[in-house]
Structure formats: C-alpha cells, structure tokens
C-alpha cells in the first residue's frame, strides 16, 4: 500500500487522528518515535527555522524542504504549500505534480493570495484552483490526499457563512479534506463539520481538546506551528533563567543527550 493510500485510510476511519508538524529532519525522526500515524510540514515552522517570516519561503525552497522531511521518515507526510506555485489554476495543478514528485502523501493549498490588499482569492478563482489541483491528483500514479484551505479567519474576514460556502464548493470541486484555520469557537467548528461532506481538519488551539473536537465531528487535527513556537518558548524560558537567576535548572526538562544520540545513530 503506498503512503498516499495509507494517509487516505486514516481519514476513512471513524476516529479523529492527530498529525504533528516537524520543521526539520531531526524533529521529523523524533516525532516518528511517538507512534503518530502521519506527519505534516509547517510553512511557518520551516520559515522561522530559517529566520524568515511565514510566507517568505520560495516555492523551490519549500519543495526541497519537503523532500528532506519525506526522506527522514517512513510515515506519510502531507505538506503545507501555502497558495502553491502561483495564482492560476494551472499553477495549482503544477503544485500537485511537484508535491507528488517530492514523495509527499498529500498537501494543502489555500485561498490566501499573499497580497495584503486583497488577501483572499475571489470565490470563482479559488474554486477553479481547487478543481485544477483535484484533477491533477487524479492523474497521479499514486494515491494523494488533497486538502483545500479557506483562510478567511486568518485574514480579517471572520465570515462563517462564506467560509462554509467555500469549503462546500471546494468539496464539490474534488478536495479530499477541507480546512479553515483560525477558528477557535467549537460551535463554528461543529457547524462546518455538519455542513461539509468531507473530512474536516482543524488546527490545534490551547482552548480546544481532542475530546471536544472529536465530539464536534473533526476527523484530523494538525498542530501547524505549535511545536515550533513551543520550542522557541522553551529556549526563551531557559535563557531568561540563565540571565535572571544565574541557574540552569531548565536542563532538567531537556530530552537526554543519550536518547537523541542513539536515535540519530540508529539510521
């Protein structure tokens, strides 16, 4: 069974599953040891690791990163490819072909334009891009799970009706999974799950629990940049302890050197 089919099977199960987001080969291999069934890249996590803001990584650099992540794990990997290779439907299709060539089991493409003056693609263009990407997935030799993202709530357009309308249109256009990041209200999440006939992905938030999301009908939970920002937070706390107290007790909570040495020496 190819990795795309394995990834699809996870969405066809009855229970929610959690997909963490590593940001380099080391965290990829580390996360695999915890028993997760799949992994996903984080555009923000990778950008921050390169001292860049989210959205500033070039498409070619992102694809090279995806190849590095895929090469570090035996698990299916889905990629956050932002808006993809360009703005047109053809570029959305080209994004799918590039993702497949990188060895990915799936990817997401969003309706955020990258233009702060016009942050969300017009409805028809957004749907045409999803349709072209979905058609490209059907032309692949391997199974591939395509996620379509509606970005309204991340870009100052908290319009639930329009978001649901877009997600339904994306589902009709052939998306396998739909995703509207930035929503923290469990009632809104439940409304999306009830309205859209495709598996729904939700980004983990401190205010939500796995049990709540399962009850709302969510099929997949991704962490986005949460692990990356948590790692930066751990570094900040350690540095503040050193500078403010002159102590090093933060090292008591660190992953043992010997554990990581053995993990990376084993492969």
CA distance 94 to 41: 19
CA neighbor of 123 nearest in space, from 198, 185, 173 = 173
CA neighbor of 75 nearest in space, from 41, 118, 46, 113 = 41
The hierarchical CATH code for the domain 3-224 is 3.20.20.60
For 139-195, how does the pLDDT look when each residue is reduced to its tens digit (9 = 90+)? 999 999 999 999 999 999 999 999 999 999 999 999 999 999 999 999 999 999 999
Pairing of the two strands 39-40 and 77-80: parallel
For 228-244, how does the pLDDT look when each residue is reduced to its tens digit (9 = 90+)? 999 999 999 999 999 99
pTM: 0.97
For 189-220, how does the pLDDT look when each residue is reduced to its tens digit (9 = 90+)? 999 999 999 999 999 999 999 999 999 999 99
| Torsion of the alpha carbons at 223, 136, 6 and 217, rounded to the nearest 10 | 50
pLDDT number for residue 233: 98
Q: Is 9 helix (H, G, I), strand (E, B) or coil?
A: helix
pLDDT number for residue 174: 98
For 81-127, how does the pLDDT look when each residue is reduced to its tens digit (9 = 90+)? 999 999 999 999 999 999 999 999 999 999 999 999 999 999 999 99
Sign of CA dihedral 199, 204, 209, 212: negative
């Amino acid at each position: 069974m190819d990795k795309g089919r394995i990834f699809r099977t996870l969405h066809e199960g009855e229970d929610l599953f959690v997909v963490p987001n590593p940001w380099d080969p080391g965290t990829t291999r580390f996360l695999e040891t915890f028993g997760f069934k799949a992994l996903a890249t984080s555009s923000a996590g990778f950008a921050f690791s390169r001292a860049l803001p989210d959205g500033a990584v070039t498409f070619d650099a992102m694809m090279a990163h995806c190849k590095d992540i895929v090469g570090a794990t035996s698990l299916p990997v889905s990629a956050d490819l932002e808006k993809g290779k360009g703005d047109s439907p053809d570029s959305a299709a080209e994004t799918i072909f590039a993702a497949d060539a990188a060895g990915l089991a799936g990817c997401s493409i969003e309706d955020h334009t990258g233009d702060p003056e016009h942050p969300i693609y017009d409805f028809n263009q957004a749907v045409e891009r999803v349709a072209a990407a979905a058609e490209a997935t059907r032309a692949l030799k391997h199974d591939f799970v395509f996620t379509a993202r509606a970005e309204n709530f991340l870009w100052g357009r908290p319009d639930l009706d329009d978001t649901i309308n877009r997600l339904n249109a994306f589902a009709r256009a052939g998306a396998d999974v739909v995703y509207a990041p930035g929503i923290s209200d469990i009632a809104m999440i439940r409304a999306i799950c009830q309205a859209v006939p495709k598996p729904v992905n939700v980004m983990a938030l401190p205010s939500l629990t796995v049990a709540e999301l399962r009850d709302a009908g969510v099929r997949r939970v991704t962490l986005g940049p949460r692990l990356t920002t948590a790692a930066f937070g751990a570094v900040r706390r350690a540095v503040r302890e050193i500078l403010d107290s002159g102590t090093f007790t933060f090292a008591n909570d660190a992953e043992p050197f010997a554990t990581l040495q053995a993990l990376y020496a084993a492969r």
